[in-house]
Amino acid sequence: MLPPSRCVLLRCSRLAGAWTRAGLRWKHASLLKVVNEPILAFLPGSPERDALQKALKDLKGRTEAIPCVVGDEEVWTSDIRYQVSPFNHGRKVAKFCYADQALLNKAIEAALAARKEWDLKPLVDRAQIFLKAADLLSGPHRAEVLAKTMLGQGKTVIQAEIDAAAELIDFFRFNAKFAMELEGEQPISTAPSTNHMVYRGLEGFVAAISPFNFTAIGGNLAGTPALMGNVVLWKPSDTAMLASYAVYRVLREAGLPPNIIQFVPADGPVFGDTVTSSEHLCGINFTGSVPTFKHLWKQVAQNLDSFRTFPRLAGECGGKNFHLVHRSADVDSVVSGTLRSAFEYGGQKCSACSRLYVPASLWPQIRERLLEELSRITVGDPAEDFRTFFSAVIDAKSFARIKKWLEHARSSPSLTILAGGTCDDSVGYFVEPCIVESKDPRDPIMKEEIFGPVLTVYVYPDDQFRETLHLVDSTTSYGLTGAVFAKDKDIVQEARATLRNTAGNFYVNDKSTGSVVGQQPFGGSRASGTNDKPGGPHYLLRWTSPQVIKETHEPLGDWRYSYMQ
C-alpha cells in the first residue's frame, strides 16, 4: 500500500458497476486524492540541503555509463557519445551510446510483444507503478535526480527542485488520478442494456522524444502513454541523458515491466526515420524545435498509407513569449516577474519571457529598476555556489546561436544593448543576461525564439495600448505563453479578448513561466504546438483509443417493428 504521508490515498481498486431498471448508470467513487508535491527550501542546515550536497559530492569526478535498454537487456553499440556539464564542458558526466536502426527495430519488436498484456493490465495496477515511482522520487531518489539535473543540465537548486522533483512527482501522481477518474466516466445506460467505455491503449507503439530543459518532461512524455496502456520507445535528449536515465531506473524500480518503455538514445534523424517507417507507429509524443516537429509530421504524412492506424501527433515547440505592461500596472510586479521569467534557467524555458512591451510613461522607472536588479544576478557554477541565479546555457550549439543574436543586437541600428550580453565559453557555455531595447517592434529579435538569457524591450506610446495589443498578437508565429500587467480591470478584459489566441497559457499580473501540474495545464498553439495540455486531465485522452461495449440483458424479440404489424 502507498504511504498516506505522501498525500496519496488509493480508496478502492475497482470501479463499482451498478445498474437498476430505472435508468442505468455506472457509478464510481472518487478513487484517488493527491496534492501538489511541496517545494523544499534547501536552507542551510536543512536535511534536504545536506542530502543534495552529499549527492553532488558523490557524483564529482564520475562519468556514469548509460547503455541502451531494450527489454531487460543493456546494449552497447560502437557509436559512443558523452554528456558534459554545461558550466564545465571539460567534465564528462555521462557516457552513452546511440541505438542504430537495427537496435531500434529490435526495440519496436520487443515493445509490440509486450503490448497486449500491458494494455489488458487493470488501470489501477498500472497507476500503482507510477504512484510508487512518485514516492521514490519524493523520498530516497530525490537528491540523486536533483544532483544529476544540476550537473547535466546546468540547473540551480530551485530550478532542479521545481522540475526534477516537484513537477515530475506531480505528473506521475496527477496522471494516475486523472486516469482513474477517466475510467470512471461512463456512458448512460437504459434498460434492458448497459453501456461501458473501455479506455484501450493505442494499437502499436508510441515514440517519445524529449528535450534537455526539463527532466520532468522526459518522464511525462514516456510515462503518460505507458500509464494509459501503451508501449513506448523513449529517445531522451543527449544533454539530459544523466537525469533521464535516473528517471527510467526509478520507473523500473517501481515495478514497470522491462518491455513497456525502451530506453533508446539515438541520432535524431535515424530515430525519426526508423519510427516513421514502421507500420506499427501509433503516436509521437514530442517536445523540441518547430523544424524537427514539422519534419516528423511530414514523414508521417509521406508514410500514411503504410500505417495500421492514424498516428497521434502531440508536440510542444516553444514560444516567443511576452509581458505586456499597461500604465496602470504595479511596477514592482513587472520588474520582479520579468527578471524571473526572462532569466531563470538562462531563458531556456519554453515559456520564458523574451519580449517586453512597456508604456513610455513607465519606462524610465522600469528601466532603472530592471538594470539595478540585473546587476545583482549571479551567473556561475550552481553545484558549488547555491547563490547562483542561473548558470551556463546547455551546449556549444546553443551558445553559438545566442552569440549570433547578440552580434545582431550590436550591429542593428534599431537595437541598443542596455546591459549584459558578453559571452565566454572557455570553461562553460556562459552568456551574461542581456537586455536590449528595440525601436522596431518587428525586428527579427522580437519575432524569433532565441532560447537564451536575452530580453528585448519595445517602448510604446501610452495612448497606443490598443494598437500594441494587436502588435503583440501579430508579431510572431508562436502562441505559447504571455502575461498582461494591469490594475485596470477593463484593460485586463480587453487584453484577454484581443490576445485570446496569442497564448495557450495566459497570465494576469504574473510572470509567463511557472505552470503547475493540476493548476495550469500547459501548452500553446500556432507554431508552439498541438496544445494538448499536459498537466491536466484532457492530455490522457491523446493516448487512449476508447471502445464502447453495449450489453443487452433480455432477448431481442421480433425483428419487425410494431408499426409494421
Catalytic residue, from 317, 350, 353, 434: name it: 350
- With 0-12 / 13-18 / 19 or more C-beta atoms within 10 angstroms meaning exposed / middle / buried, residue 160 is buried
Q: How many CA atoms lie within 13 A of 359 on its CB side?
A: 20
What is the rounded distance in angstroms from the CA atom of residue 364 to the CA atom of residue 33? 49
What is the rounded distance in angstroms from the CA atom of residue 85 to the CA atom of residue 90? 8
Cell numbers representing residue 468 in the block: 500594441
What is the rounded distance in angstroms from the CA atom of residue 138 to the CA atom of residue 173? 11
Q: Is 316 a catalytic residue?
A: yes
Strands 321-325 and 353-359: parallel
Count of CB atoms within 10 A of residue 257's CB? 17
Strand ranges across the sheet with 505-508: 415-419, 434-438, 454-460, 353-359, 321-325, 481-485, 505-508
| Helix%, strand%, coil% for the chain, nearest 5 | 40, 20, 40
The full DSSP string for 44-67 is TT-HHHHHHHHHHHHHTT--EEE-
What is the rounded distance in angstroms from the CA atom of residue 217 to the CA atom of residue 452? 19
Helix (H) or strand (E) holding 415: strand 415-419
What is the rounded distance in angstroms from the CA atom of residue 128 to the CA atom of residue 186? 22
- With 0-12 / 13-18 / 19 or more C-beta atoms within 10 angstroms meaning exposed / middle / buried, residue 494 is middle
Contact 152, 93 (CB under 8 A): yes
Contact 161, 243 (CB under 8 A): no
Contact 74, 67 (CB under 8 A): yes
Contact 203, 308 (CB under 8 A): yes
What is the rounded distance in angstroms from the CA atom of residue 337 to the CA atom of residue 131? 33
Helix (H) or strand (E) holding 222: helix 215-227
Radius of gyration of the chain (CA): 25
What is the rounded distance in angstroms from the CA atom of residue 95 to the CA atom of residue 97? 7
> Dihedral, CA atoms, 352, 355, 359, 361, nearest 10 degrees?
80
The full DSSP string for 487-534 is S-HHHHHHHHHHTTTT-SEEEESS-S----TTTS----EETTB----T
Q: Is 350 a catalytic residue?
A: yes
Catalytic residue, from 144, 161, 167, 316: name it: 316
Show which residues are catalytic.
316, 350
